Amino acid sequence: MHIVKNDNQFLTFYVSDEIYALSVLNIKEIIEYSKVTKVPLMDSCISGITNIRGSVIPLINLAERMHHEKNKEINKRTSIIVIEKEDPIKNFQVGLIVDEVNKVYEILNQEQEDAPTFGSKIRKEYIEHIAKINGTFIPILNSDHIVNIEELSQIIERDEI
């Protein structure tokens, strides 16, 4: 699925029956779930790696990353949202495994509120804003914190000790 980028557009998707949004500016593409190669000694939220058109990218299971209690089984609606991250050395790609992609909404700044400091099922730094769409509050995720390579590397190093 190719996405036309606009800073007011947000892709919504489901993770463990919860709906979330992510700015399309952070998304390179959305693909079907494909073969994942497990990598030893990785944190449980990193499902492994996959090959997308000749590029090997790590895959983060968002249900595991956000510590959801239940993790849905992989099915035909399971998708990978490919995020391109900027790094001081080079740009790299990371895939986010989600249960189902929903649709793109235009959410204006005035329709977004700061994330609450309590009451959320996930860590506050993972939520950039809260949007109200058709009477439903939807957390807009902060891709920099969800895909924090330094933090994920520390988790891996801690687990190796």
| Residue 3, domain member (yes or no) | no
Over residues 106-152, the pLDDT tens digits come to 988 777 877 776 655 667 788 888 998 888 889 999 988 888 766 65
State which residues form the domain around 110. Answer: 9-160
Q: 3-state DSSP call for residue 72?
A: coil
Over residues 17-33, the pLDDT tens digits come to 899 999 999 899 999 99
Q: Tell me the residue type at 107.
A: I
Q: What is the pLDDT at residue 90?
A: 66
The tally of CA atoms less than 13 A away on the side-chain side of residue 119 is 5
**Which residues, 6 or more positions from 96, have their beta carbon under 8 angstroms from its beta carbon?**
59, 60, 62, 80, 81, 82, 83, 146, 147
- Which CATH number is 13's domain given? 2.40.50.180
The rounded percent of the chain whose pLDDT value lies above 70 is: 80
The pLDDT-based confidence of 71 (bands split at 50, 70, 90) is: low
| Residue 108, domain member (yes or no) | yes
- Give CA–CA dist 125/28, Å, rounded: 22
| Residue 17, domain member (yes or no) | yes
Q: What is the pLDDT at residue 155?
A: 46
| Residue 2, domain member (yes or no) | no
Structure tokens at 12: 């919504």
- Give CA–CA dist 98/19, Å, rounded: 10
| Residue 1, domain member (yes or no) | no
Number of domains in the chain: 1
**Which residues, 6 or more positions from 37, have their beta carbon under 8 angstroms from its beta carbon?**
48, 49, 50
Q: What is the pLDDT at residue 79?
A: 96
- Give CA–CA dist 60/115, Å, rounded: 23
The pLDDT-based confidence of 161 (bands split at 50, 70, 90) is: very low
Please give the average per-residue pLDDT across 41-54, as a whole number: 86
Q: What is the pLDDT at residue 150?
A: 66
The pLDDT-based confidence of 156 (bands split at 50, 70, 90) is: very low
What is the overall mean pLDDT for the chain? 82
| Residue 43, domain member (yes or no) | yes
Tell me the DSSP string of 11-48: EEEEETTEEEEEEGGGEEEEEE----B--TT--TTEEE
Closest listed residue to residue 96, CA positions, set 158, 41, 152: 152
Closest listed residue to residue 127, CA positions, set 18, 32, 2, 17: 18
- Give CA–CA dist 128/32, Å, rounded: 26
Per mean pLDDT, which range of 38-42, 45-49, 85-89 is the poorest?
85-89
